[in-house]
Structure 1
Amino acid sequence: MVFELAHEAAGISYNKIAEACGLKAERVGKLARGDGTVTTLAAIERIADGLRIPGRHLGLAARPWEKSASASPPRMEHQNGDDPMKRRNLLRGALAAGLTGAGAAALTAARQDLDSALADPPTADLSYWESTAERYGYGYNGKAPTDVLSGLVLDFDDMKPLFGAPQSVKSRTRLCHVAGQMAGMTAIVLHDLGDHREAHAWFHTARRAAGESGDTGLHAWALAREAMVPLNFGAPAVAADLAEQSRSLAGGQPSAAAALACAVAARAHAAHGNRDAALAAVTEAERLMDRLTPQQAADTWFGYPEQKHHVHLSQALTILGETARAYATQARALELSRSPSLMTRALISIDRATCLAHDGEPEEAARVAAQAFGELPTAYRTGLTRTRALTLYRSIQTSPGVGQLRDVLAVSAA
C-alpha cells in the first residue's frame, strides 16, 4: 500500500523508492502490486527512514530523524525537489482509500502532531522574561537612559535562543508578547536619547511582535508610542497619522493604549495646526482617563497614569496657546508625584516656560527653561529635552534677557 501510494499518488518512480529504501526496484514493484510482504524489522525500518514515515505509523519507535529538528532531509527530497507537494499527494491518496489503514493512521498522526504543538511544556524561561519585561516597564527609576538601553540590548541577546527553539502555540504567543514589550521599551529609550531613526526601527519590530502575539492593545500602544517620535522631531503630520491608526486599533473602550493614543493625537494635531481636531482629542483623552481601571492607570510605560496624562495635555495645550489650562495641568502633573523623573520635571518646566513666552514674558521664560535644562545631568541634556528647549529658544532669541538659555544650550552642545 505504501509503495503503491508513493508511486501512484505522489508520482515517485519505483527506482527512486528503491534507492531511498535500500531495496531492488523489481522488489519494490512487486510489493506495490501486492506480490509479497516485508517481514524483517530491518527492512521495515529502512522503508520508514527512506520515505520519512514516522515510526508510529509502522509500529516502530520514533525514528532518529524525528527527534532532531536539524536532521538531514530525506534523500528523495534532494532528488525530487518538490517533496512537500508529493507528501500532500501521498496523504490525499491515503485518505481517498478510506478512513481505515493508512488513512486512519494519517488522521491520527495529524491530530497528535497538532495536540503536541498546542501542548504547553514547562515555560520557566518565559516566566523569567515576562518578569524582566515587567521590571523594565517601571521606567528609568533614576538610571541614566544609556544604562537602561544597554541592559535591554544585553537581555535581548540572552533571550535570542528562545526564538530558535521549538515552542508550543501558547508559548510562542507569550514569547512574542514579551519581545513586543521589550522592543517597544528599547524604542522609547532611543527616542528619549534623540536617535529617532533607530527608535522607528525598534517600534516597527515591536509592532511586528505584538501583531504575532495577537494582542491588539500592545499593538495600539506601540503605534501610539511610535507616533511620539515624529511628533517630537518635527513631523507632526506623520505623528497624527500614526496616532489615529492607534486610536482605530485600540477602539473606543477605555484602555491605557486608547487614552495614550488620544493624548498623542491631541499633541500631533496641535503641532500640525489642526486646532479643532486637537481639542476634540483632548476631550476624548480626558473622557477615557476618567474611566480607566487602577491597573490601566498604573504608573508604568504600559499604563496611562494621571501624571502622564497631564504631561501630554500640558504639551498639547501649550502648543494651542491655551495657557491657563496648560498651567493648571502642569501644576497637577507635579502635584501627583513627590518625585517625578528628572526628564518629566524638565519637560513640564520647559512647557511652562513656553507658556510664559506666549503670554509675553520671554525673559522669565528663558530663566525657567535655562534653570530646568541646566540642572539636568549630562546624560539627560540630549534628545527630547534639548529639542524642546532649543525650540523655545528659537522662538524668543531676538528678545532681551535670553542669554542664559542660549548659554546652557551651547554648553550641552560642546
Structure 2
Amino acid sequence: MGDVQALPPQLPQHLLRDPEFVRALRDRDFATVFTSARRHGISYRRISEACAMKPDRVSLIAQGKWAVTALATVERIADGLRIPGALLGLAARPWEDSLPMSLPKFDDGDDDMIRRQLLRGALAAGLTGSVLTALTHTRQSLDVALSANSTPPELTDLEAAAETYSYGYGGQPPGRVLADLVADFAGLGALLDSPQPIGTRVRVCRTAGQLGGMVAIVLHDLGARAEARGWFATAARAAQESGDTQLHAWVLAREAMVSINYGAPRAAAALVEQARRLAGKRPTAAATLSAAVAARAYALSHQPDEARQALAAADACMERLDAGERADTWLTHGEQKHHVHLSHALTALGDTRRAQESQQRALELSAPTSTMTRSLLRIDAAACAHHDGNTQEACQQAVAVLAELPVAYRTGLVHRRALDLYRSIPAQHHGERAARDFAEVLSA
C-alpha cells in the first residue's frame, strides 16, 4: 500500500500534552518544536517534506537562526506536523474533524494512489455504517471549507469604506472624518477575533492597514503627534501581516512625514529608507511617495546631494506610474500630491524658482475644498519669499493664510508649518509690524 514515510508525520500525543512543548507552540518557538520533533523520530528531512520547506531552512529554524513570522508558513507547519490550530493561535485546521480511528484519513497531502487503495480496502466489505460515516465526513469537510471561504459582508463594506476615505477630507472638518474612520476601524476587530480563512484574514489585515494609516494621517494633520505614531505602528503591523509590502511601505513613508513635520528630519530619513527598501525598484505609488518624502527629509537635514538624488528618483518613478497609481487619493500618488512634496523639498533646498513652479501646479490641481493642502502650499510660497529676501511680504502672506483658515484647521500641521517659517526669520525683523502681526496670529 506504499511507503509509510509518504504519510504526513504526526507528533506523538504525549508531546502535545507536554507543558513545555505546548508553551513553545503558543510562543511559536519553532526551534524548540523542530528539535523536539527530531528527538521523537521525525527527521528534519521529513519535516521539510511535510511542511513544504527547504531542508536547510528547517535546519536554520531548529538552530534558532531563522524566525518563522509569515502566517502561511505557520499554517503549513501546523498541517504538516498535525498540530491542532488552537495550540498555535490558529483556527481549527480542516483535518481536525478527523474520521473514525478504524478508517483511513483522506488527506490532500497523501499520495493519490495510497488514498485510492485505502478507500478501496475500506469499501471491500460493502457500504457499512462506518464506511458511510467516513464518506459523510469527507463530504462535510469540503462543505465546511466552502462555507469558511465565503466573505463576511461587513468586510466588503469596510473595504469600500476604506476606498471612500482615501479620497481625503472632501471639505469636511478633520475631526468629523476622524470619528467616522475610527468607528469603521473598530468593526475590523470582530473579524480578527473570529477564525477566518487565510484569504479573508489577509483582506482584513490589509483593510486594517489602510484604515489605521488614514486615522494616523488625520491625527497627524490635527497635531496629535504621539497618537499618530501609535496608529501608524498598528497600521504597519496589519500591513506586514497582510503580506502587502507596498502598503507596508506606504505606511512607513507616511509615518516618516510625522517626523518631518515635527522637527526630526534625520529620524524621518532613516524611517523612509526602510519604506524605499520595502517598495523596491518598480514604479509604484509607494516607491514614488517614499522617494519624495526622502527628498524632504534630506533637504531639512541639510543633505542637499541626497535630497536631489531622492527628488530625481521620485520624478523618474512618477513618470512611469500607471493611471491607477496616479489617482488622487491618500493611498496612491497623484500629480497634485507629488508637487506638494516637491514644493516642500525645493523650498527647504532654497530652490525657490522650481518650488514656486510646483506650488503653482499643485494649486491648479487642488480642489477648492482642499483647505489644508492649499494652506500648506501658500505657506511654502511665503517661505520662498522670505528666502528671496522679502521677509515682510512673507509675513503678510502667512498672516493671510492663517486668518482665512477655518477654526477646525487652525491647529496641527498648518500651524506647525507657519511656526517653522516664523522661527526662520532673524530676530532683527521681529520688531517690524508684519512680523509682530505674524506672531500675534500664531499665538492666537
Which residue number in structure 1 is paired with residue 428 of structure 2? 398
Q: How many residues were matched structurally? A: 321
- Aligned partner of residue 139 in structure 1, secondary structure: coil
Please list the CA deviations of residues 351-378 of structure 1 after superposition, one character each: whole Å capped at 9, or x if unmatched. 0111111110100000011101221111
Larger gyration radius, structure 1 or structure 2: 1
Per mean C-alpha deviation after superposition, the further-off stretch among 384-393 and 330-339 is 330-339
8 Å Cα contact 1:190/1:199 also seen in 2: yes
- CA shift at 1:103, angstroms? 7.8
Distance 1:181 1:113, change over 3 A: farther
Residue type of the partner of 2:309?
Answer: A
Distance 1:366 1:127, change over 3 A: same
Does residue 121 (structure 1) correspond to residue 159 (structure 2)? The answer is no
- Aligned partner of residue 402 in structure 1, secondary structure: helix
Structure 1 runs of 4+ aligned residues shifted over 4 Å read 100-103, 106-119
Which residue number in structure 1 is paired with residue 19 of structure 2? none
TM-score (norm 2): 0.68
Distance 1:394 1:11, change over 3 A: closer
Please list the CA deviations of residues 377-410 of structure 1 after superposition, one character each: whole Å capped at 9, or x if unmatched. 1111111111111111122253133122112112
Rounded Cα–Cα distance in structure 1 between residues aligned with 2:248 and 2:273? 13
Structure 2 stretches of 5 or more lacking a match?
Answer: 1-11, 16-85, 89-99, 109-136
Rounded Cα–Cα distance in structure 1 between residues aligned with 2:418 and 2:411? 10
Please list the CA deviations of residues 115-161 of structure 1 after superposition, one character each: whole Å capped at 9, or x if unmatched. 95685124322111100111111110111111111111122233322
Does residue 230 (structure 1) correspond to residue 230 (structure 2)? The answer is no
Rounded Cα–Cα distance in structure 2 between residues aligned with 1:11 and 1:264? 55
- Aligned partner of residue 428 in structure 2, secondary structure: coil
Rounded Cα–Cα distance in structure 1 between residues aligned with 2:203 and 2:323? 24
8 Å Cα contact 1:334/1:340 also seen in 2: no
8 Å Cα contact 1:117/1:169 also seen in 2: no
Distance 1:363 1:113, change over 3 A: farther
Distance 1:225 1:117, change over 3 A: farther
Q: Work out which of the residue numbers 399, 404, 412 in structure 2 matches 1:383.
A: 412
Rounded Cα–Cα distance in structure 2 between residues aligned with 1:255 and 1:368? 36
Rounded Cα–Cα distance in structure 2 between residues aligned with 1:347 and 1:210? 29
Rounded Cα–Cα distance in structure 2 between residues aligned with 1:115 and 1:169? 17
Which residue number in structure 1 is paired with residue 218 of structure 2? 189
8 Å Cα contact 1:346/1:372 also seen in 2: yes
Distance 1:297 1:102, change over 3 A: farther
Which residue number in structure 1 is paired with residue 338 of structure 2? 309
Rounded Cα–Cα distance in structure 1 between residues aligned with 2:411 and 2:392? 23
Q: CA RMSD in A?
A: 2.6
- CA shift at 1:166, angstroms? 2.3
8 Å Cα contact 1:266/1:279 also seen in 2: yes
Which residue number in structure 2 is paired with residue 351 of structure 1? 380
Which residue number in structure 2 is paired with residue 342 of structure 1? 371
Which residue number in structure 1 is paired with residue 440 of structure 2? 407
Identity fraction in percent: 50
- CA shift at 1:173, angstroms? 0.7
Rounded Cα–Cα distance in structure 1 between residues aligned with 2:189 and 2:166? 20
Distance 1:117 1:262, change over 3 A: farther
